[in-house]
């Protein structure tokens, strides 16, 4: 194992950063680990913010990621409220906004992502919210009692989860989406239509192919005006229109696209500088992709940390995964695909229990969406990992074990 005299510095104490720090120590690294974050709050888990936390079912303590004690026990030096403004890979230093120069032997960037902002007239009115941080969630929750009509801009996962939470709290919810169907870019038209109908059946008003052009109100937002001339009365607006990676730290020779570009080991284009989680763009099956989800941040952070110590021994091949809870639906999505050739449905959409597979031209399952079928989760993940062509007829038949749907496996069985 490499010993480094200068500390390992991690910039960003989100999911990826915290897991990386813990992994470094658990893997036997004895040197200093400095974990800095511009936020002043202790690291916490974000997924519950739009769900359990918003519904008041979980508290700040429940969503805390790690206690000061547990980090101290691992001798992780957590520096909160420290904003790093520049890095220099040659001198191996980072400089904070108050001028402190911090040395590092190896550097891990886990700077996360920021929300895309809506730039329209009236965006600065009271009552227009974004949901990324705990303070955002607290601000929204505190105002909910006095609010009846809420507009959600963007029918993505955050928008859908919030619509579900607000509906359960008895609010009147309008979701505004510029695309013809929600989630269709990721899940396809058929699923987009399914989730559109789900919102509608739960009493949420969904407007598609339209977008906000202005918010009106004196101090407080009172209505949202759309491109197609709609006027939607509301007392609160939540904007969820996607994220952009935080790549504000740059240095000569650091390659950045939609995120810091890293190889399969998490190394950036600069020596001793690594990146993981939301802020990184990494190679998955030959294409550089970016994933802004909890599971990826955990696994990428851990894997890259091991490589920082072990000299690139551990290529990152984890199948991307995320989940989402909306109304009475638990969604789980495995894999990554944009240009699938065919889809296969296993189960029944009417029963709200099915798995929707996305296949490439060779009949290999590239991704799958599970709706209320957690029992299939681990089998589906294996299936995607194996990268072998499947027989769509077997795949679509719920009676056939998911371990026995490969074309290859079937022939083996016959020849045996």
Which phi-psi region, left, alpha or beta, contains residue 401 (left: φ > 0; alpha: ψ -120 to 50)?
beta
Encode 346-365 in three state secondary structure.
Answer: EEECCCCEEEEEEECCCCEE
Query: Which is nearer to another protein, 15 or 281 (by Cβ)?
Result: 15
Least distance CB 378 / another protein (angstroms): 5
Query: Which is nearer to another protein, 52 or 210 (by Cβ)?
Result: 52
Least distance CB 57 / another protein (angstroms): 10
**CA–CA gap between residue 354 and residue 346 (Å, rounded):** 6
Query: Which is nearer to another protein, 64 or 263 (by Cβ)?
Result: 64
Check if the beta carbon of residue 109 is closer than 8 Å to that of residue 249: yes
Query: Which is nearer to another protein, 281 or 298 (by Cβ)?
Result: 298
Least distance CB 295 / another protein (angstroms): 7
**CA–CA gap between residue 33 and residue 76 (Å, rounded):** 5
Compose the 311-340 pattern: x for residues touching another protein by CB under 8 A, - for all others.
------------x--------x--------
Q: Could you say which of 298, 305, 371, 384 contacts another protein (CB under 8 A)?
A: 298
**Six token digits for residue 167:** 């509906």
Query: Which is nearer to another protein, 68 or 85 (by Cβ)?
Result: 68
295 touches another protein by CB under 8 A: yes
Query: Which is nearer to another protein, 147 or 379 (by Cβ)?
Result: 379
Least distance CB 347 / another protein (angstroms): 14
Nearest to 353 by CA among 365, 377, 370: 370
Identify residues 368-397 at the interface with another protein (CB under 8 A). 374-375, 377-379
DSSP-assigned letters across all residues of 272-325 = TEEE-GGGEEEEETTEEE---SHHHHHHHHHHHHHHHHHTS-----PPPEEEEE
Least distance CB 22 / another protein (angstroms): 9
68 touches another protein by CB under 8 A: no
Separation of CA 239 from chain center: 16
> Which positions lie near another protein, rule CB under 8 A?
295, 298, 323, 332, 374-375, 377-379
């Amino acid at each position: 194992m490499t010993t480094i005299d200068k500390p390992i510095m991690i910039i960003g104490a989100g999911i990826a950063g915290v897991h990386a720090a813990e992994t470094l120590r658990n893997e036997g690294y004895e040197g200093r680990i400095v974990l800095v974050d511009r936020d002043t709050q202790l690291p916490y888990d974000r997924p519950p913010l739009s769900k359990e936390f918003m519904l008041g079912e979980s508290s700040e303590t429940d969503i805390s990621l790690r206690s000061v004690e547990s980090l101290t026990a691992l001798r992780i030096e957590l520096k909160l409220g420290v904003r790093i403004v520049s890095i220099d890979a040659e001198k191996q230093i980072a400089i904070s906004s108050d001028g402190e120069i911090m040395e590092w032997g190896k550097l891990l960037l886990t700077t996360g992502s920021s929300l895309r902002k809506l730039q329209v007239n009236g965006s600065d009115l009271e009552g227009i919210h974004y949901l990324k941080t705990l303070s955002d969630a607290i601000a929204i929750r505190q105002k909910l009692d006095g609010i009846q009509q809420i507009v959600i801009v963007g029918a993505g996962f955050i928008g859908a989860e919030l619509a579900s939470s607000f509906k359960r709290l008895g609010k009147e919810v309008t979701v505004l989406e510029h695309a013809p169907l929600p989630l269709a870019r990721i899940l396809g038209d058929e699923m987009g239509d399914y989730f559109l109908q789900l919102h509608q059946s739960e009493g949420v008003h969904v407007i598609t192919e339209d977008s906000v052009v202005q918010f009106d109100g004196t101090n407080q937002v009172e209505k949202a005006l759309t491109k197609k001339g709609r006027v939607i009365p509301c007392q609160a607006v939540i904007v969820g229109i996607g994220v952009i990676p935080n790549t504000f730290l740059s240095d000569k020779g650091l390659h950045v696209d939609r995120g810091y570009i890293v190889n399969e080991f998490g190394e950036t284009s600069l020596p001793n500088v690594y990146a993981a989680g939301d802020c990184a763009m990494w190679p998955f099956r030959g294409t550089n992709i970016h994933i802004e989800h909890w599971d990826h941040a955990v696994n990428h952070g851990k894997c890259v940390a091991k490589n920082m110590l072990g000299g690139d021994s551990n290529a990152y091949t984890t199948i991307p995964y995320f989940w989402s809870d909306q109304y009475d639906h638990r969604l789980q999505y495995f894999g990554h695909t944009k240009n699938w050739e065919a889809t296969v449905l296993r189960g029944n959409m009417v029963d709200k229990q099915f798995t929707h597979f996305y296949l490439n031209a060779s009949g290999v399952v590239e991704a799958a969406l599970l709706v209320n079928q957690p029992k299939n989760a681990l089998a589906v993940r294996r299936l995607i990992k194996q990268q072998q062509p499947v027989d769509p007829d077997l795949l679509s038949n719920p009676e056939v074990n998911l371990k026995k749907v490969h074309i290859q496996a079937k022939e083996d069985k016959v020849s045996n």
